[in-house]
């Protein structure tokens, strides 16, 4: 979208002051471990925040270990990320979205053993696709770590492929994802499919996360994998670590921007 691109008449000093003002106001908004859509709710233009950004009083700011934004907020954040990504990396909005929403998850992926270069490539698609489908990015990242340990080339004995171990028969069933089984080894496309499948299970089970995770893992009666009922617990253990690391990253960012 053109509204996010820099215009030639803006000076470097103006751009810096724009970013500084955005960061100053962002510190007044609640920050949660799942990277709630602060920037989206702020209604960012170029150097402008709407009054909605300041709807929360300063005393309301708190950090809850298991807090997650609403589905509507996540979906709106995902759409915002998509728009800003398409507008290009050389924008104030891109820098701020990356800084507050993507970088904390990237750091958490590295903490879980994902190589730096891969964590960088995964983090934005993870937050964008998860949020657009109303999923908590920390939960999706945890599924990814449990499924493949962050290896895009992973292939299971039964043929599941890529980061989120998607079976080839899912190819073509989900709007917005490429209709090519080879794409399951592509970082963004695999995340597109994985998040679509998990979101579908959550809808099927009316938001019951445990049943949705069992469905994603293919654990129906435990016939083929007797311990598969432990899968949700594995995901939740990893998620606690990821959220803690994201919280640490956000705390450091808050302290740095407060100086």
**Beta-bridge partners for 161:** 155, 166
Domain spans of the chain? 2-258
- Condensed to tens digits (0 to 9), the pLDDT of residues 120-165 reads 999 999 999 999 999 999 999 999 999 999 999 999 999 999 999 9
pLDDT recorded at residue 97 = 94
| Confidence at 243, pLDDT banded by 50, 70, 90 | very high
Q: Which of 27-36, 66-75, 115-124, 165-174 has the highest mean pLDDT?
A: 115-124
Q: What is the pTM of this model?
A: 0.75
Residue 42 reports pLDDT greater than 80: no
pLDDT recorded at residue 91 = 85
Query: Which DSSP symbol is given to 64?
Result: -
- Condensed to tens digits (0 to 9), the pLDDT of residues 90-116 reads 789 999 999 999 999 999 999 999 999
Find the length of the chain: 259
Residue 166: phi and psi, rounded to 5, are -90, 135
| Average pLDDT of the residues in 4-17 | 46
Residue 63 reports pLDDT greater than 50: no
Dist CA 163 CA 125 (whole Å): 12
Q: Which two tokens stand for residue 41?
A: 């709710």
Q: What percent of the chain has pLDDT over 70?
A: 71
Dist CA 129 CA 163 (whole Å): 14
- Residue 39 contacts residue 93 (beta carbons within 8 Å): yes
Dist CA 70 CA 58 (whole Å): 20
| Confidence at 11, pLDDT banded by 50, 70, 90 | low
- How far CA 185 is from CA of 110, 148, 181, 246, in Å, comes to 20, 12, 8, 26
If phi over 0 gives left and psi between -120 and 50 gives alpha, with beta otherwise, what is residue 113? left
């Amino acid at each position: 979208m053109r509204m996010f691109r820099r215009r030639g008449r803006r000076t470097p000093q103006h751009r810096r002051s724009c970013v500084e003002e955005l960061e100053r106001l962002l510190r007044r908004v609640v920050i949660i471990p799942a990277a709630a859509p602060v920037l989206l709710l702020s209604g960012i233009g170029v150097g402008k925040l709407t009054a909605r950004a300041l709807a929360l009083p300063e005393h309301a700011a708190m950090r809850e270990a298991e807090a997650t934004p609403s589905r509507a907020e996540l979906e709106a954040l995902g759409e915002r990320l998509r728009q800003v990504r398409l507008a290009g990396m050389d924008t104030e909005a891109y820098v701020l979205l990356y800084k507050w929403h993507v970088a904390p998850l990237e750091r958490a992926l590295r903490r879980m053993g994902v190589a730096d270069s891969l964590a960088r490539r995964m983090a934005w698609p993870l937050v964008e696709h998860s949020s657009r489908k109303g999923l908590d990015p920390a939960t999706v990242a945890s599924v990814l770590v449990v499924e493949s340990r962050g290896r895009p080339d992973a292939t299971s004995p039964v043929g599941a492929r890529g980061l989120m171990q998607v079976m080839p028969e899912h190819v073509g069933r989900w709007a917005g994802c490429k209709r090519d089984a080879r794409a399951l080894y592509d970082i963004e496309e695999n995340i597109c499919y994985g998040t679509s499948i998990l979101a579908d299970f959550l809808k099927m089970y009316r938001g019951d996360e445990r049943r949705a995770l069992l469905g994603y893992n293919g654990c129906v009666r435990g016939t083929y994998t007797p311990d598969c009922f432990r899968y949700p617990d594995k995901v939740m253990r990893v998620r606690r670590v990821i959220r803690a690391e994201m919280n640490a990253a956000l705390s450091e960012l808050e302290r740095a921007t407060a100086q």
